[in-house]
Amino acid sequence: MAEKTARKTGNRQNSGAKHRVGTFFRRYRLVFQGLFALIQNANFKGFFTGKPFAGASKAVCVPGLNCYSCPGAVGACPIGALQSFLNARKFRFPYYVLGLLIFFGVLLGRAVCGFLCPFGLLQDLIHKIPFFKKIRTFKGDRILRKLKYAVLIVTVIVLPLIFKLVPVFCKYICPSGTVSGILVGIADSSVGRLFGGRFMWKLSILGIIVLLSLLIYRPFCKYLCPLGAFYAPFNKISAVRLTVDSTKCVSCGNCARACGMGVDPTRTPDNAECIRCGQCALHCPEEAIHIGFFK
């Protein structure tokens, strides 16, 4: 009897320790995102000179959307790397990039979006700025969320295969690349003077995303991001899981109201839109929701 009681006490202590660790990461997610953004852009000298890093680590893809041309970037963007394989003069199948993307997807799913993507962090920070009334959802929201899959298929895969040496998404859409261009232009005015019509087009896209981010939580992630579209199906099988203990859940709806991505975790814990940010678990009064590796 004493042994059984001790075992139960130990289980409760372990559960409590895991909950405290999980709560820490959910409460301080912005700090974690910021640290990872700094790690991915650790070439701090580049922000002053405007010259991109050219070390060996540039051959390795980072998990999130972080432009290769960013003056601080020490790794490659997986979307840019994928296009460079597909639209090379001589076609090369992107075994390495696809393998790495699948690895990130199986391991983390869209937790990459929630914790490891610098552009996701930028949208999070913008959304925190008080600006009229925030929009949770609107007519056509669900349909627009399908658009990111079209962006992935058309601008990242199909068009780069047709038009050689033209990375369509990077060249005409990517807002992360536009931010990188702004940083380079600030550091090196001679480069800034070369910006033309194409950069103005991309700047307008970035401006729209920034304005929408004031009203809507992560509009780029929801509607346009091809990387989020790639990771989305992996939520059903990834090692990072969101689980709901039905014996504790009281159906209060706090979790669904707290979710910026419009997911009700009690109905679809493996929803493709879930970025595993942990807000649902943080607002659950019964501690019925858990996020971690495996179930």
Give 122-172 pLDDT, tens digit per residue.
Answer: 999 999 999 888 999 999 999 999 999 999 999 999 999 999 989 999 999
- The dihedral built from the CA positions of residue 260, 262, 264 and 268, taken in this order, carries a sign that is negative
Domain match, 195 and 262 both: no
Structure tokens at 262: 């419009």
Q: How many CB atoms lie under 10 A from the CB of residue 4?
A: 8
Domain match, 34 and 113 both: yes
Where residue 256 sits, what CATH number does that domain have?
A: 3.30.70.20
Lowest mean pLDDT among 14-18, 139-143, 201-205, 268-272: 14-18
Is residue 122 included in any domain, yes or no?
yes
Q: How many CB atoms lie under 10 A from the CB of residue 210?
A: 16
- The dihedral built from the CA positions of residue 145, 149, 155 and 159, taken in this order, carries a sign that is negative
| Banded model confidence at residue 11, pLDDT cuts 50, 70, 90 | very low
pTM confidence score: 0.89
Q: How many CB atoms lie under 10 A from the CB of residue 13?
A: 10
Is residue 124 included in any domain, yes or no?
yes
Confidence at residue 109, expressed as pLDDT on a 0 to 100 scale: 96
CA distance 66 to 78: 8
Domain match, 95 and 190 both: yes
Share above pLDDT 90 across residues of the chain, in percent, rounded to a whole number: 79
CA distance 83 to 170: 8
Mean pLDDT, to the nearest integer, of 36-54?
A: 94
What does residue 290 show for φ and ψ, rounded to 5 degrees? Answer: -130, 140
Domain match, 140 and 268 both: no
Judging by beta carbons within 10 Å of its beta carbon (0-12, 13-18, 19+), is residue 203 exposed, middle or buried?
middle
pLDDT of residue 1 exceeding 70, the answer is no
Q: What is the residue range of 177's domain? A: 29-234
CA distance 287 to 267: 16
Domain match, 46 and 123 both: yes
Q: Domain end: 192, 212, 234, which one?
A: 234
CA gyration radius, the chain: 21
Q: Domain end: 209, 234, 259, which one?
A: 234
Share above pLDDT 70 across residues of the chain, in percent, rounded to a whole number: 91
Domain match, 196 and 292 both: no
Domain match, 123 and 146 both: yes
Buried/exposed 53-91: b ≥16 CB within 10 Å, e otherwise: beeeeeeebbbbbbbbbbbbbbbbbbbbbbbbbbbeeee
Domain match, 201 and 293 both: no
- pLDDT tens for residues 205-263? 999 999 999 999 999 999 999 999 999 999 999 999 999 999 999 999 999 999 999 99
Domain match, 186 and 45 both: yes
Q: Domain end: 216, 234, 252, which one?
A: 234
Domain match, 208 and 281 both: no
Q: Which of 140 and 195 is assigned the larger pLDDT?
A: 140
Q: State which amino acid sits at residue 76.
A: A
Which residues contact residue 223 at a Cβ distance below 8 angstroms, ignoring those fewer than 6 apart? 144, 145, 147, 148
- pLDDT tens for residues 88-127? 988 889 999 999 999 999 999 999 999 999 999 999 999 9
Q: How many domains does the chain have?
A: 2
State the chain's mean pLDDT as an integer.
90
Which residues contact residue 234 at a Cβ distance below 8 angstroms, ignoring those fewer than 6 apart? 105, 106, 108, 109, 110
Confidence at residue 293, expressed as pLDDT on a 0 to 100 scale: 87
Sequence-ordered strand ranges (E) for 139-285:
240-244
| Banded model confidence at residue 16, pLDDT cuts 50, 70, 90 | low
Is residue 22 included in any domain, yes or no?
no
